[in-house]
Amino acid sequence: MLALAAYPLGLQCEFLDRDAATPGGQVAPILVGELDDAQKLKQLAARVDVLTFDWENISGEALAPLRRLTRIRPSPMALRISQDRLHEKALFTKLSIPVAPHAAVDTQRQLERALSRLGLPGVLKTRRFGYDGKGQALIRSGADAQAAWARLAGEALIYEAFQPFSREVSIIGARSARGEVAYYPLAANTHQDGILRYSVAPYSNRRLEKAAAVYLRRVMRALDYVGVLAVEFFVVGGRLVANEMAPRVHNSGHWTIEGCVTSQFENHLRAICDLPLGSTRTLGAAAMINFLGTMPSRERLLDIEGLSYHDYGKAPRAGRKLGHCTILKSRVADRNRALRQVLSLVEWT
């Protein structure tokens, strides 16, 4: 999706990927290698004006030495903080952005102390390499805690008091090197088993959107951020509680391809290439629905008026994000009706 947004801007992409058959290979040259392969990274960095990433579980350590060869945007520092839930929460807290009560857990003793201090229920999570619900365990009892410890021990962990949220929302914005910021309206996200199933946008709540935008700007400024950044929040008792951030284009922003004048992909490219940011004005009531594990019937989905289809060209595999579709309608009621229709046709496997 980055490459598709790049060509019209007159930009050429090249991707480093472990697999030559990656979707990006349909639209750009692929350099095949491990994402922390110093030689391959060096090769890529030497050829490009700017290096970026669309997955945050890559090695900040591997990127750091490339700074002598090319610009890296966003910075390896933003990457490193977002890779560790504890550092992320420390940054949020430093910036007066509310987070769930939490504690670092490296030993069973620390887990016991965290449980007694923060109470039940809560979630034990790995600090690093967690995404799409991986490396998480919900703890409602002492027995749950034992099982969670047995499963996750050995990695740096964090225990968070469970947030009785009414909704999960995310804000996405872009920041240029000059400090110009453009942000999209809130999206309301529905997860299942930790994986985003669908997003509805704009989630119209002026007060929450304003708060989210203020928090997003604070994070961006603190990191001297360049590119697109997403911050996910829980809505708890009408207030935002920051959950995590992603230093990249974000699944909950895929609706911006059709739903906004300028997509998150184009704005990421504009930001990292020192081009003026594009308008984030919305063009209607949108919804984005993920295709997981199996592709739905293209014919039946395309029959829904106002639907755009996105097949990533990936091989099906249980739980794998294979594509998505976006609905764009002028009226919220029509969007909601079409969303229900799509949900009846999409099977998550």
| Residues in the chain, total | 349
CB of 136 vs a copy of itself, minimal distance in Å: 32
Listed residue (32, 30, 22, 24) closest to 4, CA to CA: 24
Cβ-based neighbour number of residue 142 at 10 Å: 11
25 in contact with a copy of itself (CB under 8 A) = no
Out of 46, 138, 283, 332, the residue judged to bind a copy of itself by CB under 8 A: 283
CB of 297 to a copy of itself, least distance (A): 11
Does the footprint of a copy of itself cover residue 319 (CB under 8 A)? no
List the one residue from 221, 261, 316, 349 that touches a copy of itself (CB under 8 A).
261
Stretch that binds a copy of itself, among 2-10, 50-58, 109-117, 148-156 (CB under 8 A): 2-10
DSSP notation for 292-331? ESS---HHHHHTSTTEEEEE--PPP-TT-EEEEEEEEESS
Quick check: 281 binds a copy of itself (CB under 8 A)? yes
Told to check if 129 binds a copy of itself by CB under 8 A, we report no
Smallest gap from residue 332 Cβ to a copy of itself (A) = 16
- For the CB of residue 275, give the shortest distance to a copy of itself in the complex, in Å: 5
- Please identify, among the stretches 4-12, 128-136, 149-157, 205-213, the one whose residues bind a copy of itself according to the rule CB under 8 A: 4-12
27 to 86, contacts with a copy of itself by CB under 8 A? 27
- Does the bond joining 74 to the residue before it have cis omega, within 30 degrees of 0? yes
* List 89, 270, 335, 346, residue binding a copy of itself (CB under 8 A): 270
Cβ burial 169-181 (10 Å sphere, 16+ → b, else e): bbbbbbbbeeeeb
- In the block, which residue shows the tokens 């933003």? 78
344 to 59, 142, 170, 316, 337: CA distances (angstroms): 39, 38, 25, 20, 11
CB of 3 to a copy of itself, least distance (A): 8
179's tokens: 């400090």
Residue 204 engages a copy of itself in binding (rule: CB under 8 A): no
> Is 10 one of the binding residues for a copy of itself (CB under 8 A)?
yes
The beta-strand segments (E) located in 127-238 are 136-139, 157-161, 167-175, 181-183, 187-192, 195-201, 227-236
Out of 207, 239, 298, 337, point to the residue binding a copy of itself (CB under 8 A). Answer: 298
What residue type is assigned to position 103 of the chain? A
Query: How much is the CA Rg of the chain, to the nearest whole Å?
Result: 20
Strands 167-175 and 227-236 turn out to be antiparallel
For a copy of itself, which residue of 48, 69, 90, 275 counts as binding (CB under 8 A)? 275
Query: Given the DSSP bridges, would you call strands 30-32 and 15-17 parallel, antiparallel or unpaired?
Result: parallel
CA dihedral 88→244→246→150, nearest 10 degrees, is 90
Q: Using CB under 8 A, which of the segments 65-73, 95-103, 165-173, 291-299 binds a copy of itself?
A: 291-299
Stretch that binds a copy of itself, among 43-51, 68-76, 187-195, 260-268 (CB under 8 A): 260-268
284 touches a copy of itself by CB under 8 A: yes
Q: How far is the CB of 308 from a copy of itself (least distance, A)?
A: 7
Residues 6+ apart with CB under 8 A from 10: none
> Does 311 interact with a copy of itself (rule: CB under 8 A)?
yes
- Interacting residue ranges for a copy of itself, rule: CB under 8 A: 4, 7-10, 12, 26-27, 258, 261-262, 266, 270, 275-276, 278-279, 281, 283-284, 295, 298-299, 302-303, 305-311, 313, 323, 328, 330
